[in-house]
A and B are shown apart, each in its own frame.
Chain A
Amino acid sequence: MSTINFSAREINFKIVYYGPGLSGKTTNIKKIYEQVPGEAKGEMVSLATEDERTLFFDFLPLDLGSVNGFKTRFHLYTVPGQVFYNSSRKLILRGVDGIVFVADSDPSRLRANAESLRNLRENLKEYNLSLDEIPYVIQLNKRDLPNALPSEMVRQVLDPTGKVQTYDAIASQFVGVFEPLKGVSKLVLEKLAQTT
């Protein structure tokens, strides 16, 4: 549910990057931070362990510009991917407006991708939400791995019906990073437009 601040004339959305550990969620946010000009971004906050694994979340506020006199602001969050941080993942999903699911193209991570998506569905249920109602897209990251699984195979596992927009990416090289964010932002704004 978007937060509207009528006095400040702002509409705020929360986008969460979800996916298995080491799939590249933090890399996405870091690359976005590097590419977005200064006036359109706020400070990036990372709560990470000493070895740079996400402990709680990464956070980056973006100011996209104005629509009909309202500032449109997106707050990007990542969740910790490691299996045992599920309590933290659940907390970050509170009030989510849109999700980018970052999948790993490494053959050894196919099961982890599927497990993370199952975990996402389960955690959304706690807030009485489901992936059928929340705008979400899939990013197939690490397409540069020499043994990367065919995109179609990962898609078949994560989205057998082929309904979800999916983007190939090499986040570390800023390839396919903006596209899924733009895709999910579009879905989120379209949902808002339908309700106004």
Chain B
Amino acid sequence: MLEPSLQLYGSTYDEVNSMLDELISKSHARYAMIIDLKGFVLLHNKALWAPKPPSLDSLASLVASNYSANTAIAKLLGEDGFKEMVQQGEEIGTYLEELGEHAILVTIFDKSAALGRVKLFTKKAAEDIREVIDKSTEQAPQLTFDSGSTSALLDSFFGDNE
């Protein structure tokens, strides 16, 4: 129940975060994010010059679902998955790379960034991130939850009627 999708804590988190920074700077992308296949954002970063991103929750949920749907299409056609997952509009595009079985690296770029450059640096970043995570020996911090505090949370949100 408490297993995270990726081992992203402490120094591993910091290391991966700076890799996203580097990816953004080298590829000239606007945003880079790591999301899990359930559609939750695990880590995100943006270029200093980039405008405020749209709702990250919506973005992550749609990208993860789109990725899952594309993989299902590939399987229907007898492939394990599609090698390239790129979307390009007039102004904005997205490029995806898998990070193991449970997560995806998403790079969002505008027309000022060349697609080839985005692909090159995203692939490189994905490889490096996978390596850092595989080598990580850091243990997940301990969490304690008691039913009293969770009940209070639900009562304050939904009201105390059952």
Binding site for B on A (CB under 8 A): 1-7, 11-12, 14, 40, 42-43, 45, 56-57, 59, 61, 64-68, 70, 72, 75, 77, 87-88, 91-92, 94-95, 178-179, 181-183, 185-186, 189-193, 195-196
A186 touches B1 (CB 8 A): no
Q: Least Cβ distance of B71 to chain A in Å?
A: 9
A5 touches B150 (CB 8 A): no
Partner of A3 from B38, B57, B142, B150 at Cβ < 8 Å = B38
Q: Tell whether A186 pairs with B68 under 8 Å between CB atoms, given A7-B8, A42-B55, A179-B161.
A: no
Bound Cα distance from A70 to B145, whole angstroms = 10
| B residues in contact with A75, CB < 8 Å | 38-40, 57, 61
What are 13 A-B contacts defined by CB distance under 8 Å?
A: A3-B36, A5-B4, A5-B40, A6-B8, A7-B13, A42-B55, A59-B57, A64-B154, A68-B145, A72-B153, A91-B65, A178-B158, A186-B154
> A42-B55, A186-B154 are known contacts; what are 19 more A-B pairs with Cβ within 8 Å?
A1-B1, A3-B36, A4-B140, A5-B4, A5-B40, A5-B42, A7-B43, A45-B58, A45-B62, A66-B153, A75-B57, A91-B69, A179-B161, A182-B154, A182-B158, A189-B154, A192-B1, A192-B145, A196-B143
Closest to B149 in A: A67
A43 touches B57 (CB 8 A): yes
How many pairs, one residue from A and one from B, have CB atoms within 8 Å of each other in the complex? 131
B140 touches A64 (CB 8 A): no
Best-surrounded residue of A40, A45, A57, A193 (most CB of chain B within 10 A): A193
Closest to A186 in B: B154
| A residues in contact with B65, CB < 8 Å | 56-57, 91-92
B156 touches A65 (CB 8 A): yes
B38 touches A193 (CB 8 A): no
| A residues in contact with B42, CB < 8 Å | 3, 5
Q: Tell whether A94 pairs with B58 under 8 Å between CB atoms, given A1-B1, A190-B150.
A: no
